Structure 1
Amino acid sequence: MAFQLEVLPAPPLQLTPECLVHTGIVRLFVTGMLVQGSGAPPEQFGFFVPTATPLPEGAEEPRLLAEASLMTGIATSVSGNFPFGVAHVEGSYLPDPRGGTDRWLYVGGAAYIGREIRLGYRVTVQSR
């Protein structure tokens, strides 16, 4: 089983000079044979928000509120009572994995995917 992620961002929304909201859809899906047990933990996922600008080295980290909601889902063909949806989500600024000193907005969490789910995400960035 291989787990994949696809991010479909929307343009960011500037609510005030200090408040920017990033939104979009994340598609989480399984390729290959799916084996799911009733006690299986949620799958960890994470992505860098494509519409976010970097936070320079030494800059104060803004307040973040990361949210995700289940939009659609495709369950497995297996009968049974399996969890489905988002377990948790959080936002943070992480170093660029390609190198450099800037930090980038990252959303991570865990979800019960089944065959495929689509999550709506929203990250509110509030400058201090």
Structure 2
Amino acid sequence: MLEVDELEYYRQEKLVYPHGDPPVFSDYDAIIGLSQVLSKVAVRLAKQQTPNVLTAGVSASVMEVINDFSVIQPLYHIGYASALLLIQHLESPKTPCTTIMVQAEQWPYPTDKENKS
């Protein structure tokens, strides 16, 4: 389970370092983003990995291919339950079928009043 601070995600030029360490997903074949920002995080993390990484996200296109074998299916089309079933039945010759959920803490952006003080 990754926790990604969305505000820090943008402040650090879209680099994701869960718990201060670079992400390593050699044992996983699925990354799911649970919001629009996190869908982008999921895609970015998947692109950093070897092939055979499945990603699903709410803001993804109907189908997009990245790496050699990474398919993005938007969750608003297939639903969370369907995404999990798809992951469970994903056949990958290189890695076992496991899941990884990408989540984040929502931090409100400062208002103009807060910026002036």
> Smaller-chain TM-score range?
under 0.3
The structure carrying a bigger helix percent of its residues is 2
The structure carrying a bigger strand percent of its residues is 1
Which structure's CA Rg is the greater one? 1
What TM-score results when the alignment is normalised by the length of structure 2?
Answer: 0.26
